[in-house]
Amino acid sequence: MAYPMDVLTDDEVVVVHKHPHIKALIGPGLVLLVATALGAWGLLWSTGDSVSDTTATVVGIGIGVVWLAALVWFVVRFVSWRTTHFVITDRRVMFRQGIITRSGIDIPVLRINSVQFRHGLVDRILRTGTLIVESASDDPLEFDDIPRVEKVHALLYARLDDRLDDDEPTPR
């Protein structure tokens, strides 16, 4: 949890710090795996006796280009996944994303009107989903692929409820 520590205010406590669900890497990972398997098969085929040297060279270059493209796509998606942070503290909700150009949003807990979550069958199986946060002045913000979205929803609602309880005057 090293990332959010440098942006916290005094006495602010991190409650949840998550990256998007690992399912974001399944597609690029499978493409890289298939490209590797097909590339290995293609190189074995191209070294056969019935294949000319020119054909073997063209096949080798083509396989190398395709495999390198699959590797670059996987690495970019992995770095993007690693540099995306969803953080809930006792005071705010923070979302940061980006590799070269970073963007982010902070929502004070006291400005949150409602918290919802949504997930379909596949998301339920993978225990992930979309968290929807509606604040006082903006359209609802949707945070996709939040791991254990129901638990995060409950924690955020509890934080909201705690902050509202702290602001109510005590009865005399």
Listed in sequence order, the residues at least 6 apart from 14 whose beta carbon sits closer than 8 Å to its beta carbon are: 1, 4, 5, 8, 87, 88, 89
Residues 53 and 71 in one domain: yes
Domain membership of residue 107 (yes or no) is yes
Please enumerate in sequence order all residues whose Cβ is within 8 A of that of 12, keeping only pairs 6 or more positions apart, or say none: 89, 90, 91, 92
- Which residues in the chain land under pLDDT 70? 1-4, 138, 162-172
Is 170 part of a structural domain of the chain? no
Q: Tell me what pLDDT residue 27 has.
A: 93
Contact 28, 71 (CB under 8 A): no
Predicted model pTM? 0.78
Distance CA 134, CA 160 (A): 12
Q: Give the pLDDT of residue 162.
A: 67
Residue bearing tokens 């609802």:
140
Name the residue range of residue 96's domain.
Answer: 2-18+86-163
Asked if residue 99 and residue 43 are part of one domain, the reply reads no
Domain count, the chain: 2
Is there a single domain that holds both residue 13 and residue 93? yes
Q: Would you call 134 exposed, middle or buried from its count of C-beta atoms within 10 A (0-12, 13-18, 19+)?
A: middle
pLDDT in tens, 55-80: 888 988 999 999 999 999 999 999 99
Same domain, 156 and 94: yes
